[in-house]
Amino acid sequence: MHSTSNTPQKIGRYDVAGLLATGGMAELFLASQSGPSGFERPVVIKRILPHLAREQSFRDMFLDEARLVVNIRHPNVVQVHELGDDRGEIFLVMEYLEGESLSMVSKRLSQVGEKLPPRAVAQILAEACAGLHAAHELTNAGRSLGLVHRDVSPHNLFILYSGQAKVIDFGIAKSGDRTSKTQTGTVKGKFAYMAPEQVKAEDVDRRADIFALGVILHELLTGKPLFARANDLLVMQAVCLEPVPPPSALCAEVDPELERIAMKALSRSREERYPSAQAMRRELVTALQRLSAESESPELPDEELASVMRAHFADRVARKADMLARVREGRTLTRIVGGETDVVLSAEASSQASGTGSPGQVLSLRPVAPSRKLPLALSAAAVMSIGIAVGIYASREEAPGPLGAQPSAPAESAPAPPATAPGSPQPAKSVQLVVPSSSVASPTSSVSTASPPTTVLARPLPRPAVTPPTPVSKPTSGFGRFD
């Protein structure tokens, strides 16, 4: 087998074939497990990145994920075979999944102007509900763990070439049994699939995952993203405030029952959503039975989905079959077929091969963006920015004296903070957002600690004569008042 200079040949008792992908916290390897009488099977090994392995907080997060998923035994959840320790480096051994992420499936169909058939949509969502319900019902010594996935999205629903759907990536799942705790006011997940209460950094329960399933169902019915906006702040505003259009308003041919299910799951009030994934699954199965009775196709719903997968991914099915045959036979690999892009293993390849797509055959491969602070209340943030700008402008108009005597800097030297930092990720990417636990100050409250730092224009000026500063009269009303 071929490996790059930074890829280990063995992890524990497993022979490593190559690197599948690298994320913000862990790296994934394709490996093989050998046994008596020629037993051989491909597995995926998830190992915490070496430079993070010494950080106790990351080790706790990794072990928490392992403890959660190893106890979820359900055909619609990716299976974990083993939690191992290789000379102090902990790793997870998972089943290798032959298929594609739902994100990749939607992308390929969109490229040819197609959507998944209604029966396939209902089949995927029903199986996702079944897998999530098994996770939500997880207990320890008879006590419910209150597990919430918190990152349900098309990237974390995996569709096998056989037509089966599986939930993957419990890396940021919330449960009462975790050693690592999410800091108060911290938001984790993908903004465009978060429930409103999750965006607001409120406590979440299983109904947050129901909302995410509603977003996915809506997007599969219309073939269009529901909450995609220009930046993260606008995405959060759309999730919390903007009206949700019914799928039929965006696409002419939408099954009315599936539309009703989607809109119920998308209720902003969690009390109006389905109380459990199992309750949502019942209605999806009922709709699926009706669609099957009306269909002229002799195929079952999972067979129809499998036909779609084979038709649109024939190239990748063949490449993966060849790769797995080489792994079983111990032959050299020249190409690793990863999530959405392949990794070429050759002398010309970089010393660190890495995948760039969805985790496919994985649990968690989420690029971790640096934490950044944004207002908790979106509308208050907009008012705050306007108030600061108007206040600075008013001060500048009333006290235009010399630079050294101005009580506040010119407007251009202290711009209002932008809605998002340059280079911030797109809505579909997972990030961590730290939201202040206290409420945003109103325009009439003190802003001595909230205003951006004042800077002075760097230009040579003669030292002004020392004169008493001109008193500045403060506005008595409007956005310019800060007292």
* β-strand pairing of 430-434 with 372-373: parallel
DSSP state of 197: H
Closest by CA to 375, choosing from 428, 420, 430, 412, is: 420
For residue 371, how many other CB atoms are within 10 A of its CB? Answer: 11
CA distance to 55, 199, 397, 425, per residue, from 194 (Å): 28, 6, 44, 15
3-state secondary structure of 232: helix
Do 147 and 134 form a contact (C-beta atoms < 8 A)? Answer: no
d(CA 200, CA 187): 8
Buried b (16+ CB within 10 A) or exposed e, 194-217: bbbbbbbbeebbbbbbbbbbbbbb
Element (H, E) at 19: strand 14-22
Do 170 and 364 form a contact (C-beta atoms < 8 A)? Answer: yes
Sign of the CA dihedral running 388, 392, 397, 398: positive
Do 255 and 291 form a contact (C-beta atoms < 8 A)? Answer: yes
Residue-by-residue DSSP string for 80-148: EEEEEEETTEEEEEEEPP-EEEHHHHHHHHHHTT----HHHHHHHHHHHHHHHHHHHT-EETTEE---B
* β-strand pairing of 157-160 with 143-144: unpaired
Active site residue 322: no
Rounded to an integer, what is the distance from CA 165 to the centroid of its chain?
Answer: 18
Do 430 and 212 form a contact (C-beta atoms < 8 A)? Answer: no
Encoded tokens for 71 = 């106890």
For residue 462, how many other CB atoms are within 10 A of its CB? Answer: 6
Residues written for the chain: 483
Choosing from 151, 232, 255, 302, the catalytic residue is: 151
- Annotated catalytic residues are 151
